[in-house]
Structure 1
Amino acid sequence: MFRVDPAQDGQGIVSEPATVRIQKLLPGPVERIWDYLTDPAKRRLWLAAGIMEPHPGGQVEHLFRHRELSDEATPERYRDFEDSPAMHGEVTQWDPPRTLAYTWPGDNGASEVTFELFPEGRDVLLVVTHRRLGDPETMVSVASGWDAHLGILADRLAGETPRGFWSAHTRLEAIYRDRFNKIDGENSR
């Protein structure tokens, strides 16, 4: 049985300038994980609902409904995000079931997210890389958001009750702010 280890949260890194990378080991097989990335009904359970056209140049839509991800109430500071409008991006890579990439719907395509799937026995290593992020605070927000969403995906795949999205996001923000500020401080020397 696959066991979700919350101690593995907060392990994302700055892999190159303006880029964050997060890895998560998930219960496979790889086709199952691919479905959770691309099927709107399954993607809605951990990230966002919305269509995804299965080819390069295809449309990606995200309808974020964070309150549907877990039983946790949305904190006041995030209430404006409860019913986000449809956000659109474009598929840039479609190589089932190994690689999916698209321009990020939340910033009008200024950044791009890539999902890479690597089978590891019965499990799958999912590597999420988000490139062309605008500034250090955006990198903190993106890393903590992806990490919180991936935690919910891991919970769902393992048949566990999903953790609270916002409490995980808040905890992860502190981890990433501290880690990325240290990196920024080292780079400014």
Structure 2
Amino acid sequence: MNDLTPPNGYGALTEPMTLQIQRMLPGPIERVWAYITDSDLRRQWLAAGPMDQKVGATVEFVWRNDELNTPPSRRPEGFDEEHRLLCEVLEIDPPRRLVITWGRSDGVTFELAPVGQKVLLTITHRRLPDRDMLLKVSAGWHGHLDVLAARMAGVEPAPFWDEWLRLKGEYAKRIPE
């Protein structure tokens, strides 16, 4: 990480109910872009689902968080083995910017910027519907980005669900009610 990425990796609110979180990742930018847009690479850190790289394309994200680490950590109550979300590509500028719809929020923007041999990935998740969802999403993006950073570095990530539970508690302390 460098001056552009918070040393603790936590996201911050840029406006009420909008989370922005960043990670400095090993480049080149095309490699990071592939981890965002290619289903096989994306499933290793976030969710599977083929994505046509064009405005108006739909993508169904399929989360199987139990598969993010070996052995899997214990899934929290209230979560299923699999979760699906249908999204639409609103804007795309490979390999720098992707904007998609995302459930009941106002969408998610992925922005990539080269910084020397590394790439700064900024994710902005806009206008989440309530605090509970904001806490879940904050812990989710943080945990998933930690998995991405580990995968890109060639190391086994920490147990996802254990980290998600810890992070949700941390975000509950950091984000005002």
Deviation for aligned residue 1:110 = 3.7
2:93 equivalent among 92, 95, 98: 95
1:15-60 residue CA offsets vs partner (Å, 9 max, x unmatched):
0122000011111111000000000000010001111111111111
Deviation for aligned residue 1:9 = 4.4
Unaligned stretches of 5+ in structure 1?
185-189
RMSD: 1.7
Rounded Cα–Cα distance in structure 2 between residues aligned with 1:81 and 1:145: 15
Describe the shift of the 1:76–1:23 C-alpha distance in structure 2 as closer, same or farther (beyond 3 A): closer
CA contact (8 A) 1:10 1:144 kept: no
Aligned to 1:169: 164
1:128 equivalent among 123, 138, 149: 123
Unaligned stretches of 5+ in structure 2?
none
- Residue correspondence of structure 1 range 62-77 to structure 2 within 5 A: 62-71=61-70, 72-77=72-77
Higher helix proportion (structure 1 or 2): 1
- SS at 2:10's partner residue? coil
CA contact (8 A) 2:9 2:23 kept: no
TM-score by length of 2: 0.91
Rounded Cα–Cα distance in structure 1 between residues aligned with 2:166 and 2:136: 12
Deviation for aligned residue 1:153 = 0.2
Rounded Cα–Cα distance in structure 1 between residues aligned with 2:42 and 2:137: 18
Describe the shift of the 1:61–1:27 C-alpha distance in structure 2 as closer, same or farther (beyond 3 A): same
Describe the shift of the 1:134–1:62 C-alpha distance in structure 2 as closer, same or farther (beyond 3 A): same
Aligned to 1:178: 173
Q: Percent identity?
A: 43
Aligned to 1:53: 52
Deviation for aligned residue 1:75 = 2.7
- SS at 1:82's partner residue? coil
Rounded Cα–Cα distance in structure 1 between residues aligned with 2:9 and 2:37: 24
Deviation for aligned residue 1:93 = 1.1
- SS at 1:63's partner residue? strand
TM-score by length of 1: 0.85
Rounded Cα–Cα distance in structure 2 between residues aligned with 1:133 and 1:83: 22
CA contact (8 A) 1:48 1:65 kept: yes
Deviation for aligned residue 1:152 = 0.2
Aligned to 1:187: none
- Residue correspondence of structure 1 range 3-82 to structure 2 within 5 A: 8-71=7-70, 72-78=72-78, 80-82=79-81
